[in-house]
Chain A
Amino acid sequence: MAAVRELQKDLEAKANDLSKIQKDISKNHQVRKKYTIQLGENELVLKELDLLNDDANVYKLIGPVLVKQDLAEANANVRKRIEYISAELKRLDSTLQDLEEKQNSKKEAIFKLQQRIQSLQAGKDKA
């Protein structure tokens, strides 16, 4: 009886862990979505900046004011931003993979625990 209770406690803890991991995964998905959108936008900006003439005036909105920027500087900034976002996306991918692995292992562990509890209960019923 005590053993079964112990196992059930263990199972509960594992289930909690699993739900936590799943939450992390969904969060990861959301962040990734955001970053992908940003990446798309930045690529669009870069394309437009490339199409601009060298003497075009480019401004950056910082807070409530438009700050004049050099075209080359803006270009470099956008490039850097794209690089950063790409790196971030990669990082998110790897963490996602990690989380999924963890999730699978947790699922397996929970399944095994459930089986053990079942077998224990079946044995008790017989006895």
Chain B
Amino acid sequence: MGEPVKGTVTSLSSIFAPEDAQKASVHVQEVISERQKEVQQLQAFLNDNTSLVNLVKKLPDQLHHDITVPFGKAAFFPGKLIHTNEFMVLLGEGYYAERTSKQTIEILKRRGQGLESQIESLNAVIKDLKFEASFFDETATEAAEGIVEIREDYVEEAFDEDKATTSGEDDFARILSRIDELEKEELESELAEEGEEKEEADIEPEFRNLEIKESLDIPVSKDSHIKVPTPNGSNTPVRPVDHNKSKESLPRAPMSRDEVEVSTLASSSSNVSSKTRVAASSSSNASSKTSVAASGSSNASSKTSIAASMSKEVSNFGSRSSNDKAFTGSIVEHTHNIESSQKGQTSAPAPTPASKPVSRFKLQRK
């Protein structure tokens, strides 16, 4: 292609140095370990709290408990714990309240809930941090592996330019919209009906539709297009050969179509080459349709879409450069079609190339 390269390729390691990414990862890991320590501390508080609750619950079971009372730093002496249902609870900030065992337990439970919520939030934070760390790790490894980032601007303007230079914009849009319509019709009809024979029948009205839209000479083209789908039946091997050999009889149909189309398009664009290109694309469109008819299988709908997209591509790139085969390389028939049709650009719209691919395709099929 003569297109200038629009994308930019930058290696990931130039944006994020592997060492930096690793450093960041290590830093996040440190933060995680810090948070985990906090969680452990809170968990210890929670454990203390629960054990305290148990103790407070048990204390009023008896009137008094024998205990050893700490006296100073190193001494203990035996004593008795009385008033086992009276607690002086520290509420915080130096405030104490006299409470019974039950009330104390309530207070302690509320504190436990607070601790639990704190732990939960910390765990969520840790989860986030872990995700971050894994992301940094991934970035580091990717950068080390030498993965590149490719940036490409969306280039619709390029197509516009091409259209402006080679063919009228409205022509192009018209063809695209028509292809879309055809696609839709085909899908609808295939949804409604099943089986090969019915499909065959479908294609005929379709082409008729197409022709009506284009305000074509109906009898001639209709005649030809009835011929095209029928080869799917038993007498297929005979007809394609006919197509190939007697070029005067069959090719008239596509030619007439093309000619009429050209004449309709002539009003919108004065460029001769653009006209022929449009003709070429439309003929390729026709060939893709027939290929669908030939395949006639259950997944015909997908094939039609493929064919349609192919023809779209053909029309796109056909208008760009004549030697552009790169995009149609996957399907041989199409490349051939474009090539031949574009060879005959300067001369007549070339009825032979239009019909040729059809017959060839059929031959290969059978």
Contacts and interface: CB of A to CB of B under 8 A. Distances in A.
Q: Please indicate whether A and B come from the same complex rather than being unrelated chains.
A: yes
Interface of A: 38, 41-42, 44-45, 47-49, 51-52, 56-62, 66, 69, 74, 78, 81
A58 B97 contact: yes
B332 interface: no
A49 B90 CA distance: 11
A118 B122 CA distance: 48
Given A48-B107, A59-B88, A41 B93 contact: yes
Nearest to A53: B103
A58 B98 CA distance: 6
Given A44-B114, A48-B107, A58 B95 contact: yes
A74 B98 contact: no
Interface string B90-116: 011111111100000011001100100
A80 B229 CA distance: 92
Contacts of A44: 91-92, 111, 114
Contacts, number: 52
A59 B93 contact: no
Contact of A57 (B94, B98, B106): B98
Contacts of B110: 47-48
Nearest first, the 9 closest Cβ-Cβ pairs linking A and B are A57-B98, A61-B94, A59-B96, A41-B92, A45-B92, A45-B91, A48-B91, A58-B97, A45-B93
A51 B94 CA distance: 17
A45 B95 contact: yes
A25 B96 CA distance: 36
B133 to A, nearest CB: 25
B97 A48 contact: yes
Interface of B: 88, 91-99, 106-107, 110-111, 114
A56 B99 contact: yes
9 contacts: A38-B93, A42-B93, A44-B91, A48-B97, A49-B95, A56-B99, A59-B95, A62-B94, A66-B88
B52 to A, nearest CB: 16
B100 to A, nearest CB: 10
A61 B93 CA distance: 9
A56 B98 contact: yes
A52 B93 contact: no
A10 B99 CA distance: 65
A47 to B, nearest CB: 8
Given A49-B91, A58-B95, 15 more contacts: A42-B92, A45-B95, A48-B97, A51-B106, A56-B98, A56-B99, A57-B98, A58-B97, A59-B88, A60-B94, A60-B96, A61-B95, A66-B88, A66-B96, A74-B95
Nearest to A38: B93
Given A48-B107, A59-B88, A81 B97 contact: no
Contacts of A59: 88, 95-98
A56 to B, nearest CB: 6
A78 B99 contact: no
Nearest to B90: A61
